[in-house]
Protein backbone atom coordinates (compact mmCIF):
# COMPACT_ATOMS: atom_id res chain seq x y z
CA UNK A 1 0.00 0.00 0.00
CA UNK A 2 1.20 3.51 -0.80
CA UNK A 3 0.99 5.93 2.14
CA UNK A 4 1.60 9.64 1.75
CA UNK A 5 2.96 11.56 4.74
CA UNK A 6 4.38 14.98 5.59
CA UNK A 7 7.79 15.24 7.24
CA UNK A 8 9.56 17.86 9.34
CA UNK A 9 13.12 16.74 8.54
CA UNK A 10 14.68 15.90 5.18
CA UNK A 11 17.99 14.55 6.51
CA UNK A 12 18.69 11.38 8.43
CA UNK A 13 21.95 9.85 9.61
CA UNK A 14 23.31 6.49 8.49
CA UNK A 15 26.16 4.68 10.20
CA UNK A 16 28.91 3.51 7.85
CA UNK A 17 30.99 0.32 8.29
CA UNK A 18 33.85 2.39 9.74
CA UNK A 19 31.53 3.83 12.38
CA UNK A 20 31.23 7.28 10.81
CA UNK A 21 27.87 8.88 10.08
CA UNK A 22 26.68 10.39 6.81
CA UNK A 23 23.63 12.40 5.84
CA UNK A 24 21.03 10.57 3.77
CA UNK A 25 17.86 11.68 2.02
CA UNK A 26 15.05 9.27 1.24
CA UNK A 27 11.99 10.61 -0.53
CA UNK A 28 10.43 7.19 -0.07
CA UNK A 29 10.68 4.53 2.62
CA UNK A 30 10.30 0.99 1.37
CA UNK A 31 11.31 -0.31 -2.01
CA UNK A 32 9.42 -1.66 -5.00
CA UNK A 33 12.44 -3.54 -6.36
CA UNK A 34 12.21 -6.29 -3.71
CA UNK A 35 15.71 -7.69 -4.27
CA UNK A 36 15.86 -10.96 -2.29
CA UNK A 37 19.49 -10.33 -1.29
CA UNK A 38 18.64 -7.03 0.42
CA UNK A 39 19.35 -7.05 4.18
CA UNK A 40 15.96 -5.42 4.72
CA UNK A 41 14.37 -8.75 3.77
CA UNK A 42 15.08 -9.91 7.31
CA UNK A 43 12.23 -7.63 8.38
CA UNK A 44 9.01 -9.49 7.55
CA UNK A 45 7.13 -6.19 7.35
CA UNK A 46 9.61 -4.55 4.97
CA UNK A 47 7.90 -2.77 2.09
CA UNK A 48 4.40 -3.91 2.98
CA UNK A 49 3.77 -0.19 2.84
CA UNK A 50 5.71 2.30 0.71
CA UNK A 51 5.92 5.66 2.46
CA UNK A 52 5.91 8.74 0.25
CA UNK A 53 7.33 11.86 1.91
CA UNK A 54 5.34 14.34 -0.13
CA UNK A 55 6.82 17.58 1.19
CA UNK A 56 10.44 16.48 1.51
CA UNK A 57 11.75 18.82 -1.21
CA UNK A 58 10.22 21.87 0.49
CA UNK A 59 11.69 20.86 3.86
CA UNK A 60 15.04 20.20 2.21
CA UNK A 61 15.07 23.69 0.71
CA UNK A 62 14.55 25.25 4.13
CA UNK A 63 17.13 23.08 5.90
CA UNK A 64 19.83 23.60 3.28
CA UNK A 65 20.01 27.26 4.27
CA UNK A 66 21.62 26.15 7.54
CA UNK A 67 23.38 23.02 6.30
CA UNK A 68 26.38 24.42 4.47
CA UNK A 69 28.69 21.86 2.85
CA UNK A 70 29.29 18.14 3.32
CA UNK A 71 28.37 14.81 1.77
CA UNK A 72 24.81 13.59 1.30
CA UNK A 73 23.57 10.30 -0.10
CA UNK A 74 20.22 9.93 -1.85
CA UNK A 75 18.83 6.41 -1.64
CA UNK A 76 19.21 4.31 1.51
CA UNK A 77 15.77 3.11 2.60
CA UNK A 78 14.50 3.02 -0.97
CA UNK A 79 15.66 3.24 -4.55
CA UNK A 80 15.19 6.89 -5.56
CA UNK A 81 14.35 5.90 -9.14
CA UNK A 82 11.99 3.01 -8.49
CA UNK A 83 8.77 3.10 -10.57
CA UNK A 84 6.95 5.28 -8.03
CA UNK A 85 9.31 8.16 -8.82
CA UNK A 86 7.80 8.40 -12.29
CA UNK A 87 4.55 9.41 -10.60
CA UNK A 88 5.73 11.62 -7.72
CA UNK A 89 8.97 13.18 -9.07
CA UNK A 90 10.25 13.64 -5.51
CA UNK A 91 13.81 12.60 -6.35
CA UNK A 92 13.88 15.11 -9.18
CA UNK A 93 12.56 17.83 -6.89
CA UNK A 94 15.19 17.06 -4.26
CA UNK A 95 18.12 17.03 -6.68
CA UNK A 96 16.85 20.30 -8.15
CA UNK A 97 17.10 21.82 -4.68
CA UNK A 98 20.54 20.29 -4.09
CA UNK A 99 21.97 21.26 -7.47
CA UNK A 100 22.76 24.82 -6.39
CA UNK A 101 23.99 23.89 -2.91
CA UNK A 102 27.53 23.35 -1.60
CA UNK A 103 26.78 19.70 -0.80
CA UNK A 104 28.60 16.80 -2.43
CA UNK A 105 25.73 14.65 -3.67
CA UNK A 106 25.84 10.89 -4.24
CA UNK A 107 22.82 9.15 -5.77
CA UNK A 108 22.44 5.38 -5.32
CA UNK A 109 20.16 3.43 -7.66
CA UNK A 110 19.85 0.08 -9.39
CA UNK A 111 16.46 0.63 -11.03
CA UNK A 112 16.57 -0.54 -14.64
CA UNK A 113 13.93 1.83 -16.02
CA UNK A 114 16.43 4.46 -17.28
CA UNK A 115 14.45 7.05 -15.32
CA UNK A 116 17.64 8.69 -14.10
CA UNK A 117 18.30 9.85 -17.66
CA UNK A 118 15.17 12.00 -17.36
CA UNK A 119 17.14 14.13 -14.92
CA UNK A 120 20.26 14.65 -17.03
CA UNK A 121 19.54 18.36 -17.25
CA UNK A 122 19.70 18.68 -13.47
CA UNK A 123 22.61 16.28 -13.00
CA UNK A 124 24.69 18.39 -15.39
CA UNK A 125 23.78 21.62 -13.60
CA UNK A 126 25.19 20.82 -10.15
CA UNK A 127 27.42 23.41 -8.52
CA UNK A 128 29.55 20.55 -7.20
CA UNK A 129 29.71 17.52 -9.53
CA UNK A 130 27.18 14.85 -8.59
CA UNK A 131 28.24 11.20 -8.42
CA UNK A 132 25.96 8.34 -9.46
CA UNK A 133 26.45 5.02 -7.68
CA UNK A 134 24.82 2.74 -10.24
CA UNK A 135 24.05 -0.86 -9.28
CA UNK A 136 24.20 -3.54 -11.96
CA UNK A 137 22.65 -6.30 -9.82
CA UNK A 138 19.02 -5.54 -10.65
CA UNK A 139 17.34 -8.94 -10.88
CA UNK A 140 15.70 -8.14 -14.20
CA UNK A 141 19.15 -7.63 -15.69
CA UNK A 142 21.27 -10.10 -13.73
CA UNK A 143 21.73 -12.67 -16.50
CA UNK A 144 22.00 -10.27 -19.43
CA UNK A 145 25.76 -9.78 -19.36
CA UNK A 146 26.85 -6.96 -21.65
CA UNK A 147 23.20 -6.20 -22.46
CA UNK A 148 22.47 -5.18 -18.86
CA UNK A 149 20.32 -2.04 -19.17
CA UNK A 150 22.19 -0.27 -16.37
CA UNK A 151 25.50 -0.72 -18.17
CA UNK A 152 24.02 1.26 -21.04
CA UNK A 153 22.80 3.90 -18.58
CA UNK A 154 26.22 4.07 -16.91
CA UNK A 155 27.95 4.58 -20.24
CA UNK A 156 25.42 7.22 -21.30
CA UNK A 157 25.87 9.16 -18.05
CA UNK A 158 29.64 9.01 -18.43
CA UNK A 159 29.36 10.20 -22.02
CA UNK A 160 27.36 13.20 -20.75
CA UNK A 161 30.12 14.09 -18.30
CA UNK A 162 28.51 12.70 -15.13
CA UNK A 163 30.72 10.91 -12.60
CA UNK A 164 29.59 7.27 -12.37
CA UNK A 165 30.70 4.41 -10.13
CA UNK A 166 29.45 0.97 -11.16
CA UNK A 167 28.53 -1.53 -8.45
CA UNK A 168 28.17 -5.26 -9.00
CA UNK A 169 27.08 -5.79 -5.44
CA UNK A 170 26.38 -8.49 -4.91
CA UNK A 171 27.91 -10.69 -7.54
CA UNK A 172 25.39 -13.47 -8.16
CA UNK A 173 27.55 -16.52 -8.95
CA UNK A 174 26.82 -18.43 -12.15
CA UNK A 175 23.86 -16.16 -12.95
CA UNK A 176 26.00 -13.19 -13.92
CA UNK A 177 28.63 -13.02 -16.64
CA UNK A 178 31.05 -10.77 -14.79
CA UNK A 179 33.60 -10.67 -17.60
CA UNK A 180 31.05 -9.40 -20.10
CA UNK A 181 29.72 -6.82 -17.66
CA UNK A 182 33.13 -5.41 -16.83
CA UNK A 183 34.23 -5.31 -20.47
CA UNK A 184 31.02 -3.54 -21.55
CA UNK A 185 31.53 -0.62 -19.16
CA UNK A 186 33.30 2.56 -20.22
CA UNK A 187 36.95 2.06 -19.23
CA UNK A 188 36.89 5.29 -17.21
CA UNK A 189 34.12 4.06 -14.89
CA UNK A 190 35.42 2.64 -11.59
CA UNK A 191 33.91 -0.72 -10.64
CA UNK A 192 33.10 -2.06 -7.18
CA UNK A 193 32.60 -5.78 -6.58
CA UNK A 194 31.20 -7.55 -3.54
CA UNK A 195 30.14 -11.04 -2.65
CA UNK A 196 26.66 -12.15 -1.67
CA UNK A 197 26.36 -11.33 2.03
CA UNK A 198 23.71 -13.30 3.87
CA UNK A 199 22.15 -13.24 7.31
CA UNK A 200 20.80 -16.72 8.05
CA UNK A 201 18.87 -15.67 11.15
CA UNK A 202 16.12 -13.92 9.20
CA UNK A 203 14.35 -14.33 5.86
CA UNK A 204 17.11 -13.13 3.55
CA UNK A 205 18.75 -16.52 2.95
CA UNK A 206 15.41 -18.20 2.27
CA UNK A 207 14.34 -15.50 -0.17
CA UNK A 208 17.60 -15.77 -2.09
CA UNK A 209 17.44 -19.55 -2.26
CA UNK A 210 13.78 -19.59 -3.28
CA UNK A 211 14.47 -17.08 -6.05
CA UNK A 212 17.39 -19.12 -7.35
CA UNK A 213 15.50 -22.40 -7.10
CA UNK A 214 12.57 -20.94 -9.04
CA UNK A 215 14.44 -19.07 -11.77
CA UNK A 216 17.77 -20.89 -11.96
CA UNK A 217 17.18 -24.37 -10.49
CA UNK A 218 20.33 -25.64 -12.17
CA UNK A 219 22.34 -23.56 -9.68
CA UNK A 220 20.35 -24.46 -6.55
CA UNK A 221 22.95 -26.88 -5.17
CA UNK A 222 25.74 -24.38 -5.69
CA UNK A 223 23.79 -21.74 -3.80
CA UNK A 224 23.20 -24.13 -0.92
CA UNK A 225 26.98 -24.26 -0.54
CA UNK A 226 27.32 -20.49 -0.85
CA UNK A 227 24.50 -19.69 1.56
CA UNK A 228 24.99 -22.36 4.21
CA UNK A 229 28.54 -23.67 3.83
CA UNK A 230 30.25 -20.31 3.17
CA UNK A 231 31.72 -21.63 -0.07
CA UNK A 232 33.69 -18.69 -1.50
CA UNK A 233 35.59 -20.50 -4.23
CA UNK A 234 33.70 -18.62 -6.98
CA UNK A 235 34.68 -15.25 -5.52
CA UNK A 236 38.30 -16.25 -5.05
CA UNK A 237 38.56 -16.93 -8.77
CA UNK A 238 37.19 -13.46 -9.55
CA UNK A 239 39.65 -11.85 -7.16
CA UNK A 240 42.53 -13.75 -8.69
CA UNK A 241 41.51 -12.63 -12.17
CA UNK A 242 40.90 -8.93 -11.47
CA UNK A 243 42.97 -7.98 -8.44
CA UNK A 244 45.58 -6.24 -10.62
CA UNK A 245 42.96 -4.17 -12.44
CA UNK A 246 43.34 -0.61 -11.14
CA UNK A 247 39.74 0.42 -11.76
CA UNK A 248 38.27 -2.46 -9.74
CA UNK A 249 37.78 -2.23 -5.98
CA UNK A 250 36.92 -5.36 -4.04
CA UNK A 251 34.60 -4.80 -1.13
CA UNK A 252 35.72 -8.12 0.33
CA UNK A 253 39.25 -9.29 1.09
CA UNK A 254 39.21 -13.05 0.63
CA UNK A 255 42.82 -13.16 -0.57
CA UNK A 256 43.99 -11.93 2.85
CA UNK A 257 42.30 -14.71 4.79
Q: Which of 237, 125, 98, 91 is nearest to 173 (CA)?
A: 237
Write out pLDDT tens, residues 69-101.
999 999 988 999 999 999 999 999 999 999 999
CATH number of the domain encompassing residue 36 = 3.20.20.70
In a domain, 183, yes or no: yes
Res. 198 pLDDT band, cuts 50 70 90? confident
pLDDT at 57 over 60: yes
What's the pLDDT score for residue 15? 82
Instruction: Return mean pLDDT, the chain.
Output: 92
In a domain, 219, yes or no: no
Instruction: Classify 75 in phi/psi space as left (phi over 0), alpha (psi -120 to 50) or beta.
Output: left
In a domain, 257, yes or no: no
In a domain, 187, yes or no: yes
In a domain, 241, yes or no: no
In a domain, 133, yes or no: yes
Helices (H), the chain: 56-67, 85-88, 90-98, 120-123, 149-159, 178-184, 204-215, 220-228, 233-242
Q: What is the mean pLDDT of residues 135-154?
A: 97
What's the pLDDT score for residue 19? 77
Contact 168, 193 (CB under 8 A): yes
Residue 15: helix, strand or coil by DSSP? strand
pLDDT at 257 over 60: no
In a domain, 17, yes or no: yes
Number of folded domains that form the chain: 1
Q: Which domain holds residue 46?
A: 2-196
C-alpha to C-alpha distance for 212 and 221, rounded to whole angstroms: 10
In a domain, 66, yes or no: yes
C-alpha to C-alpha distance for 7 and 66, rounded to whole angstroms: 18
Amino acid sequence: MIKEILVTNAFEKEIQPDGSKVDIIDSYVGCQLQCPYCFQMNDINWSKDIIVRKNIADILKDQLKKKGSGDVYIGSLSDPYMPLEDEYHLTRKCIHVLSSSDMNVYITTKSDNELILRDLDLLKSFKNPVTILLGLSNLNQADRGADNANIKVANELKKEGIDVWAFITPILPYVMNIDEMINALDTNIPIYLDKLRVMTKGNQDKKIYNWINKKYPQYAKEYEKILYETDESYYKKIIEKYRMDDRITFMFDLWER
